[in-house]
């Protein structure tokens, strides 16, 4: 296993994180998995044996059941793992049982600690933005949780660029704890994060954790152009994340993943995961699994080294068109682009005939 520094913190995390959203199967999360306790514990043990040291969950997953199962699965192994969980979404029917208010965050943290059966959370993440709560209140609440010892580090998830920078600025003004990471959706097919979120991570020292790195299974190689997908796949289950806006492009990417996989004698899924591990600022890729076989296949991705040619071929079928003002900067300001700018723009510069 490879270990990477998480943002500007001193924390080292495994390049692959075990995502646990498939544990529990309660409510809408039955669409993505329903591992029982025995299977969940087995998956956790396999991941730990492979060197995975970060487990990711959320109070929302199966309405708390997932956290309970994670807590049970790590009994006797707490010293071997870092625990990441999240808060923001409803955990009750009351008007204050949701959001990023001080009231809800403190209650949510206490609830997660109890369900996990631990005295602290290693990485506490804001699961989504809350446009009602002043960001200063949210960051102050997180600082209080860190100061109390209940939380070691904090992160964000699913924020826009301006929302992320606003939260970081609030923390900096107050001299309080700031995010060390952001957990985002990012795949070789869904590259929107490269416009703002990846450059912000580089500039602000945030480690990227990637959720749904196979696009809900779409990039696993099981879905092929003109063929029916697996009967237990996302379309049959009713899970519609992430949205697909260009089906032809999707299948072009899948075919390239399969092609490169065959050249390396690995699966398309391993290539898709390895592509992410080659991208700037990515600290860890969150992999989930419904079966032991899926997990063992995904774990092998950390050993796959893609060549420059592999990356260029994947880029050729997947890079997005430049939005304004990026295309204007690439055309007119490329004499003074810094390393952060080039994280996005280098592949589009005029010398590459990208336009």
pLDDT of residue 234: 52
| Non-local CB neighbours of 348 within 8 Å, separated by 6+ positions | 319, 322, 326, 327, 330, 354, 355
Burial of 290 (0-12, 13-18, 19+ CB in 10 A): middle
DSSP codes, 163-185: HHHHHHHHHHHHT----SEEEEE
In the predicted model, is pLDDT for residue 21 greater than 50?
Answer: yes
At 195-241, the pLDDT tens digits run 999 999 999 999 999 999 999 999 999 888 888 776 555 554 455 77
Residue 31 catalytic? no
Report the share of the chain in percent with pLDDT over 70: 95
Condensed to tens digits (0 to 9), the pLDDT of residues 229-281 reads 765 555 544 557 788 889 999 999 999 999 999 999 999 999 999 999 999 99
Rounded to the nearest 5°, which phi and psi values hold at 258? -65, -40
DSSP string of 110-128? HHHHHHHT-S-EEEEEE-S
CB atoms closer than 10 angstroms to residue 149: 9
Q: What is the mean pLDDT of the chain?
A: 94
The average pLDDT across 75-91 equals 97
Instruction: Answer yes or no: are the C-beta atoms of 150 and 120 closer than 8 Å.
Output: yes
Q: Are 74 and 37 in contact (CB under 8 A)?
A: no
Residue 236: the pLDDT is: 42
Q: Among the options 61, 124, 186, 251, which is catalytic?
A: 61
Provide the token pair at 13.
């995390």
- Is residue 159 within 8 A of residue 167, CB to CB? The reply is yes
- Quick one: pLDDT at residue 225? 87
Written as one string, the DSSP assignment of 67-81 is: HHHHHHHTTT-GGG-
């Amino acid at each position: 296993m490879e270990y990477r520094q998480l943002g500007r913190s001193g924390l080292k995390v495994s390049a692959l994180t075990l995502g646990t959203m498939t544990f529990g199967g309660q409510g809408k999360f039955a669409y993505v998995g329903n591992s029982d306790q025995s299977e969940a514990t087995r998956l956790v043990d396999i991941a730990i044996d492979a060197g995975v040291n970060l487990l990711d969950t959320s109070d929302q997953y199966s309405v708390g059941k997932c956290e309970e199962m994670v807590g049970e699965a790590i009994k006797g192994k707490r010293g071997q793992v870092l625990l990441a969980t999240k808060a923001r979404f409803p955990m009750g029917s009351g008007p204050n049982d949701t959001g990023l208010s001080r009231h809800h965050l403190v209650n949510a943290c206490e609830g997660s600690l109890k369900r996990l059966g631990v005295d602290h959370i290693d990485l506490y993440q804001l699961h989504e933005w809350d446009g009602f709560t002043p960001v200063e209140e949210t960051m102050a609440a997180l600082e209080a949780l860190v100061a109390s010892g209940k939380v070691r580090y904090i992160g964000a998830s699913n924020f826009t660029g301006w929302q992320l920078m606003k939260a970081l600025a609030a923390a900096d003004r107050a001299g309080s704890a700031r995010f060390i990471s952001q957990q985002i959706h990012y795949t070789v097919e869904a590259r929107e994060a490269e416009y703002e979120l990846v450059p912000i991570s580089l500039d602000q020292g945030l480690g990227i954790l990637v959720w749904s790195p196979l696009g809900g299974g779409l990039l696993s190689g099981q879905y092929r152009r003109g063929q029916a997908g697996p009967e237990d796949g996302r379309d049959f289950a009713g899970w519609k994340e992430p949205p697909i806006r260009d089906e032809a492009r999707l299948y072009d990417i899948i075919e390239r993943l399969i092609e490169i996989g065959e050249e390396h004698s690995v699966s398309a899924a391993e290539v898709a995961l390895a592509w992410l591990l080659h991208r700037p600022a990515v600290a860890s890729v969150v992999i989930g699994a419904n079966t032991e076989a899926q997990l063992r296949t995904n774990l092998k991705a950390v050993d796959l080294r893609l060549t420059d040619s592999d990356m260029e071929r994947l880029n050729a079928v997947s890079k997005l068109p430049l939005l304004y003002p990026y295309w204007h900067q690439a055309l007119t300001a490329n004499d003074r682009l810094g390393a952060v700018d080039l994280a996005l723009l280098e592949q589009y510069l005029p010398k590459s005939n990208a336009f």
